[in-house]
Amino acid sequence: MVASDTPERRVPCPTCRRPAVYGERNPWRPFCSERCRSADLGAWASERFRVPAAAPTDDDSAPPAH
C-alpha cells in the first residue's frame, strides 16, 4: 500500500460550516456527518429550499400574438 503525500481536501459542510473531508474516506461528503446530511435532506423534503418566483398573470397563459 502506498501512502499519499497529498493532503486531504477539506470543504465547509453545507449545513454546519465545519470542515469536512471531501474524499472516499467520508461517506457523507460533502457533509461532515450523517446528521448534517439528514438535516439537509429534510430541508429539501419540507421545501425550505425554494426559489422565489412571481405568480403567472393572465397574460402569461395567452398565446403569443403574431
CATH code (residue 29) = 3.30.50.10
Domain count, the chain: 1
Checking phi first, is residue 17 left (phi over 0); if not, alpha (psi -120 to 50) or beta?
left
Query: Is the pTM value of this prediction over 0.75?
Result: no
pLDDT of residue 57: 76
7-60 residue pLDDT tens: 889 999 999 999 999 999 999 999 999 999 999 999 989 988 788 888 877 765
Distance CA 31, CA 37 (A): 6
21 within a domain of the structure (yes/no): yes
Q: Where are the beta strands (DSSP E) in the chain?
A: 10-12, 19-21
Is 36 strand, coil or helix? Answer: helix
59 within a domain of the structure (yes/no): no
pLDDT of residue 49: 79
Residue-range definition of the domain harbouring residue 25: 10-47
64 within a domain of the structure (yes/no): no
